[in-house]
Amino acid sequence: MAEVTSVTNRRAAGIRTTKCLFLLFTLLSLVYFTKAALNKKQLIELKQMYQKTKEKYQRMKSEHMSRMHTSSDKIMDYKKMIDMLTPLVRKYEEQYPDSIPLMQFLEKTRDFFDKGKDFFGQREREMNVKIKGLEDSMRQIEKIINFHEQQQAEL
Please write the tens of the pLDDT for every residue from 107-148. Answer: 999 999 999 889 988 988 888 888 888 888 888 888 888 887
Q: Is residue 118 part of a domain?
A: yes
* Dihedral over Cα of 107, 112, 114, 115: its sign: positive
Q: Is residue 31 part of a domain?
A: no
Q: Is residue 9 part of a domain?
A: no
Distance CA 138, CA 105 (A): 48
Inform me whether the pLDDT recorded for 153 exceeds 70: yes
Q: What is the pLDDT at residue 5? A: 46
Q: What is the pLDDT at residue 13? A: 47
Range of the domain at 116: 41-154
Q: Is residue 23 part of a domain?
A: no
Terminal Cα-to-Cα distance of the chain (whole angstroms): 53
Q: Is residue 79 part of a domain?
A: yes
How many domains, the chain?
1
Q: What is the pLDDT at residue 115? A: 92
Q: Is residue 119 part of a domain?
A: yes
Task: Say if CB 59 and CB 51 are below 8 A apart.
Answer: no
Distance CA 78, CA 76 (A): 5
pTM for this entry = 0.58
Q: Give the mean model confidence (pLDDT) for residues 65-69.
A: 81
Please write the tens of the pLDDT for every residue from 3-46. Answer: 444 445 555 444 556 665 666 666 666 556 556 555 777 778 88
